Amino acid sequence: MAGSTLSSIDRRLVRRIRAAIGDAPVAISLGNSNSDGPAGANPVARVHIADRKTLMKLVLDPEVGFGDAYMTGRITINGDLVRLLELVLESMQKAGSEGWYARLRSGLLRITQPNSLRGSARNIHHHYDVPTDFYKLWLDSRLVYTCAYFPTPSATLEDAQIAKMDHVCRKLCLQPGEAVVETGCGWGALALHMARHYGVTVRAFNVSKEQIAFARQRAQAEGLAHRVEFIHDDYRNVSGRFDAFVSVGMLEHVGQEHYADLARVIHRSIGDSGRGLLHFIGRNRPHPFSSWIKMRIFPGAYAPALSQVMPMFEPWNFSVQDVENIGRHYASTLEHWLARFEGGVDRITEMFGAEFVRAWRLYLAGSLASFRISTLQLFQVVFAGSQCQNIPWTRQHLYARADLAQKEQKWFVATSSS
Amino acid sequence: MAGSTLSSIDRRLVRRIRAAIGDAPVAISLGNSNSDGPAGANPVARVHIADRKTLMKLVLDPEVGFGDAYMTGRITINGDLVRLLELVLESMQKAGSEGWYARLRSGLLRITQPNSLRGSARNIHHHYDVPTDFYKLWLDSRLVYTCAYFPTPSATLEDAQIAKMDHVCRKLCLQPGEAVVETGCGWGALALHMARHYGVTVRAFNVSKEQIAFARQRAQAEGLAHRVEFIHDDYRNVSGRFDAFVSVGMLEHVGQEHYADLARVIHRSIGDSGRGLLHFIGRNRPHPFSSWIKMRIFPGAYAPALSQVMPMFEPWNFSVQDVENIGRHYASTLEHWLARFEGGVDRITEMFGAEFVRAWRLYLAGSLASFRISTLQLFQVVFAGSQCQNIPWTRQHLYARADLAQKEQKWFVATSSS
């Protein structure tokens, strides 16, 4: 495919892109020009940039420039998208500081996507009120849209989502007859699982109307409506008294400035005698979410470092009992999701068009790349009130075989301060 | 026992003491006066204060006033010392702020007990260079002077210390032939255990001369001197490259202002590919150590909240993989230590006198009370470098039966970034 060679200005711009991705074996071409520079015999991917305007946006604001151009088709990629993103993210991490434009963009997003009561409803609506039929095409059959837990790396996604829910329930030491509050309940899978398999009653909150409607139908259909109440409301409006608090995949949408509010709600709900679990995407150190992800996929999202989450518990004298990082399980989860998504691409294109498909492909592939190279982590944090009597003696019970689960009680030893 | 009634000033002072301990059933008497106020039919303890001077010191600076008076015999206690301390500590925690004198004392201790190179040597000498024969009277046979791990609450102290060392080794995923650096190695039990049972080589550091001398003899006697090197030096002077870093019970002596130094040493030792474990006494929220403990027992000691430890890992992009709180195991450990200590009291009195015995009894009983009422926690934090390949897929292997330990390898799945 013969084309003209690059002009000197284009060559300089491409060189800046190349500097950003290090010595990764990637072929880059622009317009109808030849590819620039040697990419080795087997490039990971061939990146084609449609025109100079796209190239300039890419230099000015790499994340958003790339994301939007990929989404709209002005950048096309031939080859391994996930591996390409791993290489790019890794070298961007090494390079460190972003340019002024990217920083400005990131600052503006913080202001324009507040997680106030109204802001949260709008932010959540953007993502979670996409029709459920879309998510049915690539999530597991129970519609669990958070990191799964694979007992072994070869477990199926269906089994891994059940294992995740059991892992959470065991960490919470749920006992029949107890009352649980869940905030950010998605389509209700965990709430229903807790009620069915652990004999608890659940009040589950969510600001996504579409999800709550779906979850209520499900509770009816499964005969659990008397034990699980799905409430269309914000976590800040939780009322009532409970034995345990659980939130899986909501903290990312709470926003740092509201962690203290969330902690107040938790203590109001479980007091000094309860216990709780937070499951969330985190980081090794404080860093904002990708601006493109915040603009196109998750408005208002933030993945905190543990140093930002730990202070939440302090005013209420909660004891942190257990923190587990299962970030690599999110890479596996995303591999399953991405493969299923690609399998349903014709149907999704029909439903929402090619641009939507490219945006979601980039989001899933970028998330997978981030977990593979460990720029994102997945933390499960278990905490307990100062008078909590349900602290297991060891964590052995989390790993007991299912048929031994009934014997778990013996691991519970009342604290001596009772 | 007939005595005079209290004068009005004494009564007012005793009332302030009583207010501090809440409605705990404690009888208080002063000099040769009658006991003040009703303590119920079965008081937890009868506290006798020798004179008004002691009483005034107690009001001005409760911790140090009480500790020193108990140590010197100007306060005597009849009854359950541990339960009394639980009640007092609990009500002091509720009451919140200390008086100006106690705050001044706490501030002065921070200045006069720095954890500089020279300061640390002096601080550590104070406690750990007490003759080993003393510790032999009440520690387990391997001389492990840190929180044990009881697989079941009824395990023996000997077994629980072995289980703790195995728990640490398993969390570190030690493999035969690897090199490990340990800082703050006590009398060498863990270093020798790692070399003997996990096939690693160890360089173990400690600034206590007495402990290092003992550990070296032990390595010789056990035929492990070629695999375990005991070095009389500060953690800041660690050199060499290792696969894993471990430190059990040292962070309490490092001091907040030196956490960044410790993290730099860790990264210098294990780079991006290693992993490490910190085991330390912590708290639910930042709070200084008891002033009396710092004056008489552990100069320069500080038990951090997780919010103070987590930032250590951030400059080096370490991922926190696992945090476990085994604070209740420290209560069990202290119960064993205190019982053995009381069993050896005649011998200890002979060696060091009655004042030493009372000081150490108060320290052990006070620590036990603090862990029972959860004002102290015990955290084990596992972290890994950004390129670490030895991250287990789940924590299942920590709870496998010993005879299955050889099969643990199957749980290791190389990270995809390799």
Q: Which of B92, B372, B393 to mutate to test the interface with A (most CBs of A within 10 A)?
A: B393
Examine the domain organization and report whether B129 and B223 are in the same domain: yes
Mean pLDDT score, A1-5: 54
Of residues B255 and B111, more confidence is placed in: B255
- CA B304 to chain A, closest CA, distance in angstroms equals 12
Residue A130 is predicted with a pLDDT of 83
Residue A408 is predicted with a pLDDT of 39
Examine the domain organization and report whether A313 and A409 are in the same domain: yes
Quote the number of domains for chain B. 2
What ipTM did this prediction achieve? Answer: 0.92
B110 is a domain residue: no
A160 is a domain residue: yes
Cβ-proximal residues to B140 (8 Å cutoff; 6+ apart), any chain:
B148, B157, B158, B161
A190 is a domain residue: yes
To the nearest whole number, what is the mean pLDDT of chain B? 89
- CA B342 to chain A, closest CA, distance in angstroms equals 21
Residue A19 is predicted with a pLDDT of 80
Instruction: Note the pTM of the prediction, 2 decimals.
Output: 0.93
Examine the domain organization and report whether A152 and A222 are in the same domain: yes
pLDDT band at A328 (very low <50, low <70, confident <90, very high): very high
- Chain B residue numbers with beta carbons less than 8 Å from the beta carbon of A334 are none
Examine the domain organization and report whether A31 and A72 are in the same domain: yes
Instruction: Classify residue B232 by its DSSP letter.
Output: E
pLDDT in tens, A141-198: 999 999 999 999 999 999 999 999 999 999 999 999 999 999 999 999 999 999 999 9
Extract the tokens encoding A364: 């899933």
Examine the domain organization and report whether A161 and A307 are in the same domain: yes
- CA A211 to chain B, closest CA, distance in angstroms equals 31
Q: Do B416 and A331 touch (CB under 8 A)?
A: yes
Examine the domain organization and report whether B166 and B58 are in the same domain: no
Q: Which of B44, B325, B415 to mutate to test the interface with A (most CBs of A within 10 A)?
A: B325
Examine the domain organization and report whether B242 and B352 are in the same domain: yes
Q: Picking from A120-134, A142-156, B17-31, B395-409, which range would have the lowest pLDDT averaged per residue?
A: B395-409
Residue B92 is predicted with a pLDDT of 76
Coil, helix or strand at residue A288: coil
Burial class from Cβ neighbours inside 10 Å (0-12, 13-18, 19+) for residue B78 reads: exposed
pLDDT band at A21 (very low <50, low <70, confident <90, very high): confident
At A88, which CATH number? 3.30.1050
Residue A398 is predicted with a pLDDT of 96
Residue where one domain finishes, among candidates A47, A68, A97: A97
Q: Picking from A22-36, B40-54, B212-226, which range would have the lowest pLDDT averaged per residue?
A: A22-36
Residue A411 is predicted with a pLDDT of 34
B106 is a domain residue: no
Examine the domain organization and report whether B128 and B262 are in the same domain: yes
Q: What range does the domain containing B76 cover?
A: 8-97
pLDDT in tens, A103-153: 777 777 777 778 888 887 777 777 777 889 999 999 999 999 999 999 999
A32 is a domain residue: yes
Residue A4 is predicted with a pLDDT of 62
Q: Do A152 and B284 touch (CB under 8 A)?
A: no
Residue B403 is predicted with a pLDDT of 41
pLDDT in tens, B316-339: 999 999 999 999 999 999 999 999
A90 is a domain residue: yes
Examine the domain organization and report whether B251 and B295 are in the same domain: yes
Nearest to B292 by CA among B134, B71, B144, B90: B71
A82 is a domain residue: yes
Residue of B nearest to A410 (CA): B152
% of chain A residues with pLDDT over 70: 91
To the nearest whole number, what is the mean pLDDT of chain A? 89
Q: Do A325 and B319 touch (CB under 8 A)?
A: yes
Examine the domain organization and report whether B59 and B205 are in the same domain: no
A287 is a domain residue: yes
pLDDT of A415 above 50: no
pLDDT of A2 above 90: no
Residue of B nearest to A332 (CA): B416
Examine the domain organization and report whether A262 and A368 are in the same domain: yes
pLDDT of B12 above 90: no
Task: Give the number of beta-carbon pairs within 8 Å between A and B.
Answer: 124
Residue A111 is predicted with a pLDDT of 76
Nearest to A187 by CA among A228, A235, A243: A228
Residue where one domain finishes, among candidates B97, B131, B160: B97
CA-based R_g, chain B, Å: 23
> Which ranges of A203-258 does DSSP label H, i.e. alpha helix?
209-221, 251-254
How far apart CA B321 and CA B181 sit, in angstroms, is 19
Residue A412 is predicted with a pLDDT of 37
pLDDT of B98 above 70: no
- Chain A residue numbers with beta carbons less than 8 Å from the beta carbon of B321 are 324-325
Q: Which of A324, A334, A335, A383 to mutate to test the interface with B (most CBs of B within 10 A)?
A: A324
Extract the tokens encoding A247: 């939130």
At B363, which CATH number? 3.40.50.150
Residue written as token pair 């956490």: B259
pLDDT of A45 above 70: yes
- CA A175 to chain B, closest CA, distance in angstroms equals 21
Residue A160 is predicted with a pLDDT of 98
Of residues B159 and B92, more confidence is placed in: B159
Examine the domain organization and report whether A85 and A158 are in the same domain: no
Residue where one domain finishes, among candidates B48, B68, B97: B97
Cβ-proximal residues to A22 (8 Å cutoff; 6+ apart), any chain:
A87, A90, A91, A94
